Structure 1
Amino acid sequence: MPASRAPQPAATAVPPPRVVFSLLTLVLLAGACLLTYATHEVYEAVTEGDGIAALDHPALREAFAVRSPASTSIATALTFLGGRIGNPLIALVVLVLACWRRRAAEPAMLLVPALLGSLVVTIVGKRLIGRVRPPRELALPPFETSPSFPSGHTLNATVLAVIAGYIALRMIRSRWGRATAIATCALSALGVGLSRVYLGQHWLTDVIAGMLIGIAWALSVIAAYRVHLALRRRRAGEAAIGAAAEAQVETETETA
């Protein structure tokens, strides 16, 4: 008698994981841009009732009052780390170390889309909203000419901090090492944000919005990445089941 064939797993029309990740990231990026605009609309609504906007001028006056040469040097250094040169350099170091440690390019799937997306959100948000920065006479260099809302330095530094923290949690096993990495990431983003207010380059609400939007965007990219991993494991499992079924059929055929 011919050997009976083992039942084959039903084929599922699931797009490749990388395609799903790319599409999902683009959809979430559009959502992040809308969130930026919605955040400003909420801010404007609250401003009319003298709500959170009441923080802006007192925070700027307080920053002006506590300035000193030492604190100004620290704030300038923090701003540089979150700026156009410092942020990409730190991201490159994180990327190289993570890829080397994991012996794979997977961390690039997290870091590159996250940072490019944060740049898009910053540019779109500033152009849509066009909020004026604090008075130039209260600001310290380096001066900026782009609109104020949201704080790009803060948003980009926050995204990098969240993604770097997530990568560290996946790579580091010890509790002390994890706690140190998370604390370093959180304090770096917070320091960059506060430096923008201290230097008079942003209102406090610009910084708060930058942090909130940055956290939301970074977590969205992480969620999309987790979906990618789940789909990849599913495809690998289906491939293993198919290979086992084929091997069983071959064995039954040889023994028939």
Structure 2
Amino acid sequence: MERAKARTSRPDSGWRRKFMVEERSVPFTERKRLYTTAWVLIITGLVLFLVVLIGVLTHSGFQRLDQPVETWFLAHRSTTVTPLMIALAIAFGPVTLPIVVLVVVVVWTIRARHAWRPLLLAAGMVTGLVFAQVLAPLVRHPRPPIGSMLFGADSSFSFPSGHVLGTADFLLLLAFLIASRRRKRGFTSTAVCVAVVLILAQVVSRLYLGYHWISDTTASLALSMVIVGIVMAVDTARTVRVPGERVEGGHSQTQVDEA
């Protein structure tokens, strides 16, 4: 009887531990740096987004770059580059990217000691989706002419770019949530560089294929900065502990889970 009870209680206790928020010990200066970076991202992203939004609503300022940038991309299209741009649009599009995110979140949740990071990734992605769905019908920014689109017609509103927002959120959040636990400067630099290159490639793809203006993609980058900054601040507040700091319940976990 006692063995049976032990066997049945183990899965429950393990499942409860998985959904306990992980805690990690870092120097005070590192925690300060994390908070500073988070607030810089949030404030910079908000300011940039408001600048672009005001320009789009008033047809002035940053929005004046839309037509010249579109004209430049139209003039530099080639049969060699077009397939690559289409591949990027598919890889990070509204069909493929949600599947990739779902697989990553589910597998990561199952394999990780704590489910905090994959659930935080999922929350960040959902937040970006909500922003895109709410803002588009409110701003009502029309897309470039259908005749300039290279991968089928799309008459929906274009502000912000869902492709760019989803790509930026996924890659930047994933880079932060992994690199912040590994705490290796080389790995962090590489992860951020790869994320930035792929995000910029997606921006170029949306402009090249004729589905967005530069104001749409810039607004998406700004929103992603805000989302990543908020996730970084929440993660730091909930998981980071300075050595010697009192933790509620008298429990402090300093071992880093690199799963």
TM-score, reference length from structure 1: 0.70
Q: 1:204-249: CA deviations, max 9, x gaps?
A: 1100111111111221122122222259x999833228xxxxxxxx
One-letter amino acid matched to 1:193 = V
Residue among 185, 201, 205 paired with 2:211: 201
Amino acid at match of 1:47: H
2:83 equivalent in structure 1: 73
Which structure has greater helix proportion? Answer: 1
Structure possessing the higher radius of gyration over alpha carbons: 1
Would you say 1:59 and 2:69 are equivalent positions? yes
Percentage of identical aligned residues: 27
Unmatched 5+ stretches in structure 2: 1-19, 22-45, 252-259
How well do the aligned residues superpose, as a CA RMSD in angstroms?
3.2
Q: Distance in 2 between matches of 1:45 and 1:128?
A: 10
- Structure 2: distance between partners of 1:64 and 1:132: 18
1:115 corresponds to 2:139: no
Match of 1:156 in 2: 166
Of residues 210, 214, 224 in structure 1, which corresponds to 2:220? 210
CA displacement 1:2-57 (0-9 Å, x = unmatched): xxxxxxxxxxxxxxx98xxxxxxxxxxxxxxx989845542146633xx3222111
* d(CA) in 2 for partners of 1:40, 1:212: 9
Deviation at 1:72, TM superposition (A): 0.8
Q: Distance in 2 between matches of 1:174 and 1:227?
A: 21
Q: Letter of the 2:62 partner, please give it.
A: I
| Alpha-carbon distance in structure 1 between the residues aligned to 2:126 and 2:199 | 17
Residue 97 of structure 1: how far off its partner (Å): 6.2
Q: 2:96 aligns with which of 82, 86, 92?
A: 86
Query: Aligned with 1:70: secondary structure?
Result: coil
Question: 1:106 is aligned with what amino acid?
Answer: W
What's the counterpart of residue 55 of structure 2?
43
Partner of 1:6: none
Query: Structure 2 CA distance, aligned partners of 1:106 and 1:144?
Result: 37
CA contact 2:161–2:217 (8 Å) conserved in 1: yes
The separation in 2 between residues aligned to 1:152 and 1:229, in whole angstroms, is: 30
Partner of 2:136: 126
Counting only pairs closer than 5 Å after superposition, residues 224-235 of structure 1 correspond to structure 2 as 224-229=234-239
Provide the rounded CA distance (Å) in 1 between the counterparts of 2:94 and 2:128. 12
Structure 1 residues 239 and 157: alpha-carbon distance in aligned structure 2, compared to 1, 3 A threshold: same
Give the Cα separation in 1 of the matches to 2:70 and 2:229.
30
Tell me if the contact between 1:118 and 1:156 (Cα under 8 Å) persists in the aligned partners. yes
Contact residue 82 and residue 156 of structure 1 kept, 8 A: yes
Over 3 Å counting, the alpha-carbon distance change for 1:202 and 1:100 in structure 2 is: same
Give the distance between the partners of 1:185 and 1:93, measured in 2 at CA. 19
CA distance in 1, matches of 2:49, 2:140: 11
Contact 1:110 1:222 in 2 (8 A): no
Equivalent residue, structure 2, for 1:7:
none
Deviation, 1:58, is 1.3
Question: By how many angstroms is 1:59 displaced?
Answer: 1.0
- What corresponds to 1:145 in structure 2? 155
Distance in 2, Cα, partners of 1:168 & 1:40: 31
Structure 1 unmatched ranges of 5 or more: 1-16, 19-33, 242-256
TM-score of the aligned structures, taking structure 2 as reference length: 0.69
**CA–CA separation in structure 1 for the residues paired with 2:101 and 2:65:** 32
CA-to-aligned-CA distance 1:55-93 (integer Å, 9 cap, x gap): 111111111111112211111111112211222233245
Q: Secondary structure at the match of 2:81?
A: helix
How far did 1:183 drift?
1.1
Cα distance in 1, alignment partners of residues 48 and 155 from structure 2 = 20
Q: What letter is aligned with 1:190?
A: L
